[in-house]
Structures are given as structure tokens and as C-alpha cells.
Amino acid sequence: MLLLWFFVFALLFAGAQSARTQGRAAMDTRQYLAHSYMLQGLGRQEASRRAVDYFCDSVRVRSAQHDSADLAHYREHDEGRTAERECRRTMGERVARNAGRTGFSGYMALFSDPRMSEIFATRPGYPLYTVPFVSGLGPVVGLWLAAVVATVAASGLVVLVLRALGVSVPLALTGQVLYYALPTGQESMLPLCEGLLLCLLLAGVLGCVRVLRGRVGSGTTIAVLGFAGAAVVKYAQTLLAVAGIAVVTAVLLCARRLRGERPPRPERVLLVTTAALAVAIELVVLAYGLPSTKASLEELLSVHYTRRPVADPGPEFWRLSLAFWREWLRDALAQPLVLLLLGCGAWGAFRHCRAFACLLVGVALAGLANQAGHPEVSVGPRLMVMAMLLPVCGIPLLLETHVRRAGARGRNPAPPSRAGRRVPAPASR
């Protein structure tokens, strides 16, 4: 029954997503697609040119869809051809200008400054994942299908996590539907690395759950493989996630110690594993000289290296962050759905299992920290999408706890109270 309904929901999701296979591309999609083409053996300039073709065709589709329903343009519009021509002109000039520059090496594309391209060249996981899809089906259908597969696989891991926690089949499937319906599904379907990243992070979370359930050996193996795969996709966000899990788990163990309790072995194993993974990822970043926090800060404040870098980035960053979070909180209070979802998710997780709740909160805090490191309004919810795993897994746990308590009350009803003087039973004759 579980598999049947899982595939029914997955097919319904894929069918709904087939209404828009093109027009989803973001600026970063060009970098990943060019990387994928270079992994297939194309030269840097040809790979960049093909990525431009895909991106500008996506611009055309998106512009045509917008103009067809826009009051100012719906009577007379050119099906997005003007937007496509401008895109090809701008992107083509950049590729031609950068083709003669030094500083490009490895899998760096020619769309932007070499320092910008280097950031994406150090994320081989998603381009490698898309190679069979793009080479076999082309970029339009290939990237769309790659996103569908990653999203459905991630929703399946949500189901496995909830089932490992003892959640009933209907409520585990509720977690699958929530993954599709919340920003996790929307962001996973973009031709970007977030969908694959969430899938691998959920694989690591599943391993952590198995550790907490006493299956230490297999759980540790799954957790290490899942988080290691996520680091190949996007090492900075994975570092935040495993460090967040380690920090919140450490707080839980300290709280147990203060109450005079001995922390269970699975929780200690989880802390050691995630802390070791965080240290290992940081050592790899230092050993290979990968772009770090400093490069991210320079890229942010120079508007993706299109402006002169700021001499003293500290004050500028804090001023931007203060303005961003002020506006974010204002929007969140005016439209509090996100806050309610996060609150309900945390409530459900802590009511069901405190150790798992700390694990889930650690990942959510990583999403918030990632957003804090990139206070950009234009990117939208993509930067903090990891935080939405909290309601995806926590709301079914809240419902499960409520159902169990209601069932327990039904099996053991309290005796009804009777007011007034008890009427004696009639004497038998």
C-alpha cells in the first residue's frame, strides 16, 4: 500500500511539473550546464556557447509566458524573441571577451569573472549527476527529468525517515506531499543543485535516524555517505548542516549531563560522527584552497564581481544584513505562514523525539545561517530551503503524536463523574 500511494503521488507531481519543462533557468544554471558539457568532453568555449543557447531559450519562454498575460503586452508581443536576442547578445559578448582572458582553468565557464566561475567549478556533484540526462535527452528535457528524479527520491527519503521514527503510513505519505507542496519541491525543481543537495542531506538524516534507533553501524555508514555526497554537490551548505547537527546535539547532551543523566550511546555516536564530518570538510576546503567565507563575502558585496571589491567588507556586510533581516521579518510577520510552518514543525519534532528534533533543528539552523551569509532579497527562499525540512518532517510527527494520544484516550476512557447524591440500587425481592 505504501509503495502504491508513493508512486501515485510521485506520478501526479511529475505530471503537474510537465506543464513547465522550460523557462525555469536561473543565472547559475548556465554555470552548472557548461560544467556538465565540459564533463562530456566539450571545450570551454563550446560548452559555454551551448549553455548560453539553453539559458537564452529559457529567457524567451519565460518572457513569452509573462507577456501573454500582462495587461501592457498581451495584445502585441513577439513571443519573447526580443528578450532572447538581448540575452544572446549580452551573453555572447561576455563569452567572446572572456575567451581571450587568462585565469580560466579546469571546469570554469566563460560567463563571468574567473573568481565567480571558480566557485561553481568547485561543485562537481550536480553537473556530474546531470551528465547522463543532458547527453541522452538534451538540456531542456534532461535537466527537467534530472530535477524530477532528485525531487521524487528526496520525497522517498522523507517517507523512510518518518517510517523509521514509527510514523504510520498515511502520515509518512503526508510528509511526501508536504515536500512537494512546500518550497522544498519548488526549489528542487529548478535546474540548480538544491534538489540534489536536499536529497543527499536527507540520506544523511536517514542515517542519523538509524543511529538514534540503535543501528549504529549501518546508520553511521549511510550518514557519512549521504553527507559526503552532499559536500561534493555544495560543500559550504553541507558544512553548515553537519556543524548545526553537531552543535545542537552537543547542547542536548550537555542538558542531559546537567540533569544527572548519562547520554545514550547513539546520541554520543551521532555527535562524534557529525563533528568529525564537519572537521573533515573544513580540512578539505583548506587543503585544496577552495573558495571560503572570505570569497563568498567578496562575491556578495561586489555584486558577483561586477563592481569593485569593498576595501573593508565588515561594516558593509552588517549594514546589508540588518536591512535584509528587518525586511524579512516585516514580510514574515505580515504573511506568517513560514513562521507558522517552522513553529509547527519544531513543536511536532520535539513532542515526538527530542534527539531527532535536535537533529532537524540543526539542519534548519543551517538554512538560516546560509541565508544570513547571503542577505540577498533577489534570490528568494532558495538560500534557506534547508530550513523547510523542519515542517516537512515535523508536521507529520505532530499529527502522529496527536493521533496516538487520541487513540490512547479512546482505549482508556475516564469514568464519568456523577454530580449529586448517588441513588441506591433497588433491593432484590
Answer for the pair 179, 411: CB distance below 8 angstroms, yes or no.
Answer: no
**pTM of the predicted structure, to 2 decimals:** 0.93
pLDDT score of 423 more than 50: no
The cell for 320 is 546589508
* Mean pLDDT, range 67-94, rounded to an integer: 89
Q: How far apart are CA 308 and CA 101, in angstroms?
A: 18
* Mean pLDDT, range 211-228, rounded to an integer: 96
The pLDDT tens digits for 331-364 are 999 999 999 999 999 999 999 999 999 999 999 9
DSSP category for residue 386: G
Q: What pLDDT is recorded for position 102? A: 82
| Alpha helix stretches (DSSP H) within 234-377 | 235-258, 265-287, 293-301, 313-334, 337-352, 354-373
* Mean pLDDT, range 38-64, rounded to an integer: 95
Q: Which amino acid is at 168?
A: S
Q: Which H/E stretch holds residue 147?
A: helix 125-164
Say which residue, 194 or 309, is predicted with more confidence.
Answer: 194
Q: How far apart are CA 241 and CA 386, in angstroms?
A: 8
| Angle made by CA atoms 377, 119, 372, in degrees to the nearest 5 | 35
The pLDDT tens digits for 308-331 are 888 788 888 999 999 999 999 999
The cell for 161 is 525517515
Q: Which amino acid is at 180?
A: Y
CA separation (Å) from 425 to 381, 417, 422?
A: 69, 18, 9
Phi, psi of 208 (to 5 degrees): -65, -40
- Tell the burial category of 100 from Cβ atoms under 10 Å away from its Cβ (0-12, 13-18, 19+): exposed
User: Hunting for cell 561576455 — which residue is that?
Assistant: 94
The cell for 219 is 546508520
